[in-house]
């Protein structure tokens, strides 16, 4: 049973009437991020689904200031706002950048890496739906191996970039992965990030119903399968060294995960098997990071 009640305050920072698609898991993630961070927060959002969900001008779904910046500049903008707040003596205000995987893995990566290297006092959240879903489902460097996108009609030939490990390698105070099927875990990680100073990074896997070809009601279920099959383990890394595994592979075959998504429906059985082998190999390497 989820125990979100014990972990979050329903402050209603995020409100109804937003323009996310029916069943959108990104909107669900927004609800728990914003309500956990609370009203003393300024958000920075680059072009993305998040910009649609938090906007559109002159209306907003977030009862806090939201600054819509350029696609490259989320981390830099957030760092600047935080420094300005500090100069004004308003250090208690959190600044959170919420970007998509395009704005994180690809276009915003330089600004993000530099902000991490400088250990800027911001929270950076990547809403990872594994592609440029807002513009019609093009491939990003987060798109998984063999997934269909409109720019990889035969399936993406290369692997998904491992942004979690890249960010952990910056030795930032806090790096975590989360997903919508585990809402209490997600809310808990946002709350933990809120209590830490310095650069904090959370990548949240948010199934895109339309872009992945998932049924409107199954986003959370599919996100859970990503975890249970070992596709996307949920873990935390503190200071680049201290690893904690929250939810990992339960040995469920990856077919259970990919069969529920139309972006994988072109795959031949041996291709499914090759995905399974990659996931198994990754999981074996990954396991060695935990001292337990």
Q: Mark the segment that binds another protein (CB under 8 A) among 10-18, 79-87, 109-117, 191-199.
A: 10-18
Nearer CB in complex with another protein: 22/89: 22
Nearer CB in complex with another protein: 144/207: 207
CA distance 262 to 268: 13
User: Under rule CB under 8 A, which residues in 51-80 are in contact with another protein?
Assistant: 57-61, 63, 65-66
Kindly state the smallest distance separating residue 21's Cβ from another protein, in Å.
Answer: 8
Strands 242-247 and 66-68: unpaired
Strands 66-68 and 41-45: parallel
Rule CB under 8 A: say whether 219 interacts with another protein. Answer: yes
Residue 114, strand partner residues: none
User: Under rule CB under 8 A, which residues in 16-35 are in contact with another protein?
Assistant: 16-25, 27-28, 31
Nearer CB in complex with another protein: 3/158: 3
Helices (H), 118-182: 163-169
Please tell me the count of residues contacting another protein according to CB under 8 A. 37
Say what the alpha-carbon torsion angle 142, 23, 98, 244 is, to the nearest 10 degrees: -70
Nearer CB in complex with another protein: 54/149: 54
Residue 45, strand partner residues: 68
The contact pattern for another protein, residues 261-280, with x = CB under 8 A and - = no contact, is --------------------
Nearer CB in complex with another protein: 16/241: 16
Kindly state the smallest distance separating residue 243's Cβ from another protein, in Å.
Answer: 24
Kindly state the smallest distance separating residue 150's Cβ from another protein, in Å.
Answer: 24
Kindly state the smallest distance separating residue 92's Cβ from another protein, in Å.
Answer: 18
Structural tokens at position 10: 């329903």
Query: Can you tell me which of 117, 165, 216, 280 binds another protein, judged by CB under 8 A?
Result: 216
- Residue 15's Cβ-side half-sphere holds a number of Cα atoms within 13 Å equal to 10
Sheet of 200-205: strand order equals: 66-68, 41-45, 94-100, 123-128, 200-205, 174-179, 234-238, 242-247
CA distance 54 to 57: 9
At 281 the three-state DSSP class reads helix
Interface residues with another protein (CB under 8 A) are 1-2, 4-5, 12, 14-25, 27-28, 31, 57-61, 63, 65-66, 181, 183, 216-221, 224
């Amino acid at each position: 049973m989820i125990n979100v009640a014990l972990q979050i305050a329903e402050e209603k920072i995020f409100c109804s009437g937003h323009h996310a698609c029916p069943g959108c898991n990104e909107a669900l993630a927004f609800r728990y991020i914003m309500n956990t961070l609370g009203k003393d927060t300024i958000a920075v959002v680059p072009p993305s689904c998040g910009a649609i969900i938090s906007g559109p001008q002159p209306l907003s779904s977030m009862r806090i200031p939201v600054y819509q910046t350029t696609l490259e500049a989320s981390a830099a903008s957030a760092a600047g706002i935080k420094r300005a707040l500090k100069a004004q003596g308003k250090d208690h205000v959190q600044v959170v950048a919420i970007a998509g995987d395009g704005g994180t893995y690809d276009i915003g990566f330089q600004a993000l890496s530099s902000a991490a290297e400088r250990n800027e006092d911001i929270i950076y959240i990547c809403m990872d739906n594994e592609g440029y879903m807002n513009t019609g489902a093009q491939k990003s460097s987060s798109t998984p191996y063999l997934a269909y996108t409109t720019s990889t009609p035969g399936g993406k030939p290369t692997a998904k970039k491992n942004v979690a490990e890249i960010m952990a390698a910056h030795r930032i105070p806090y790096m975590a992965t989360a997903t919508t099927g585990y809402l209490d875990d997600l809310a808990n990680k946002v709350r933990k990030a809120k209590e830490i100073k310095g650069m904090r990074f959370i990548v949240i896997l948010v199934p895109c119903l339309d872009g992945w070809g998932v049924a409107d009601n199954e986003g959370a279920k599919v996100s859970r399968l990503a975890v249970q099959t070992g596709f996307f383990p949920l873990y935390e890394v503190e200071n680049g060294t201290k690893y904690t595994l929250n939810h990992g592979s339960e040995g469920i075959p990856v077919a259970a995960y990919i069969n529920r998504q139309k972006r994988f429906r072109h795959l031949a059985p041996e291709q499914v098997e090759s995905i399974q082998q990659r996931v198994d190999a990754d999981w074996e390497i990954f396991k060695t990071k935990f001292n337990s």
